Amino acid sequence: MITTSIQYIPGMKIVEHFGLVQGSTIRAKHIGRDIAASLKNLIGGELKGYTELMTESRAEATDRMCKQAEQFGANAVINVRYATSSVAQGAAELFAYGTAVVVKPEA
């Protein structure tokens, strides 16, 4: 599955459109991570636990989006966008959406 953040795929030609596909996930870290993060919060700097959490959830959301595209019979998703919202303390929703298409290499 090819994904791009732009309206086409360089070097490929779009032959069929399937419309919107999306994937989302809500995740939280275990309490130990939260405690470590709140301590780190005193001296500042990167909260590695949360960076990891966001990266994992983003991969999961993208994966779900691609699964949906596969069901349509698409082989690529173009114009992918990400959105984040925090639903509760310590949890975050990651949302990925894009347009499913079929592409073939340019002659």
Partner 1 sequence: MDISGLVIFVVLMALGYIAGTMAERKHYKSIERREAAMLRQPIVTYEDMETPEGKRVRKAKMVTGSAVISTDYFKRFLASLRFFFGGRVKSYESLLDRARREAIIRMKQEAVGAKIILGMRIETSNIGSSNRKGKNKGLGAVEALAYGTAVWFDEIRPQTP
Note the residues at the interface with partner 1 (CB under 8 A).
Answer: 2-12, 31, 34, 37-38, 40-48, 50-51, 54-55, 58, 80-86, 88-92
CB of 63 to partner 1, least distance (A): 13
Amino acid in the structure at residue 39:
L
CB of 45 to partner 1, least distance (A): 5
Residues 6+ apart with CB under 8 A from 62: 3, 23, 80, 96
Query: In this complex, which beta carbon is closest to partner 1, that of residue 18 or of residue 49?
Result: 49
Query: In this complex, which beta carbon is closest to partner 1, that of residue 9 or of residue 101?
Result: 9
Q: In this structure, what DSSP letter does residue 10 have?
A: T
Residues 6+ apart with CB under 8 A from 61: 23, 24, 25, 82, 94, 95, 96
CB of 21 to partner 1, least distance (A): 14
